[in-house]
Amino acid sequence: MKVCLISYIPEGEKIAAIAAKSTQSLNPPSKLDASEKAIERILKHVIEKQHSSVLNFPYYIFSFEGVSRVFTHQWVRYRIAAHLQQSLRYVEKRCEFVIPPTILRKGKDAVVTYLKNQKQCFENYRRLLKLGIPKEDARFALPSGIKTHIISVMNAHELLHVFSQRLCYDAQWEIRIACHALAAAVYLTSPKIFYNYGPACISKNICLGRSEGACKDKVLSIIEKVKERVDSKRDIFENMERGKEIEIDLTDILGFRVDNKIKECVKKEFGDIEIDYEVKVCVRKI
């Protein structure tokens, strides 16, 4: 999985703070300014008081790559956003599938069984195409685990709402990992807005899941590790030229690397297939 932050408002935090400030000022927003300390103070107040309109101004355009259609079926439920996804009708797919870490952890037999099923589905898809079945109908043979990509745009308020739901351990694993990676990207560009991101147990001190707060320490540990990794790259990012990209590998925190013995078995039967579940974040400086 790769999450790419493609675009954002460069001074989104400042714009949001000025917008908030203008509601209590005789001067219009175009005549106002705010120091870094003032921006931090205003945004913290806005977030604590849940003045959501202020956080509608900063927006973020990002893509998820190498994710399953299981994930995208969940992701597009967020409607305070816009989404465009790779079409299975116009794009003849390659034999690439997301392998859930639960299958990877189970060992060789589970991985081989899964890949055999996926490969057979793909072969059936190609056979249907050769028989003259239209792509829009042949795609019915493809499984939900097939890799795809999707681009979305959301504002800061909606992203905080998404994180409050999907970083919870009750959320499905792929969308949870995707949101951890996305949170890393927006935290790099807007730390004053996303300083306290997390599931509701962290951001609002309310457990909305079924564990009654039992997983709070676990998710907090992950968020702290992600933030530490991002903060270690912050100076590099701030000194980069606009248009350049920075990549942050979070595989050791969020992903899973497969034992070499399992890789060798898979290679013998299926050829060169990437089965590690890597998680990377890419941010383009605007």
Q: ∠ at Cα 218 (216, 219), nearest 5°?
A: 70
Q: Pick the catalytic residue: 79, 89, 94, 166?
A: 166
Spatial CB neighbours of 158, under 8 Å, sequence gap ≥ 6:
78, 80, 81
Q: Is 68 helix (H, G, I), strand (E, B) or coil?
A: strand
* Rounded Cα gap, residues 115 and 122, in angstroms: 10
* Tokens standing for residue 278: 């890597």
The greatest distance separating any two alpha carbons of the chain, rounded to the nearest whole angstrom, comes to 73
166 in active site: yes
**Does the CA dihedral 126-131-134-136 come out positive or negative?**
negative
Task: For tokens 């590690």, name the residue.
Answer: 276
* Rounded Cα gap, residues 154 and 81, in angstroms: 5
Cα 166 versus chain centre, distance: 10
50: left (phi over 0), alpha (psi -120 to 50) or beta: left
First-to-last CA distance in the chain? 23
Active site residues: 166
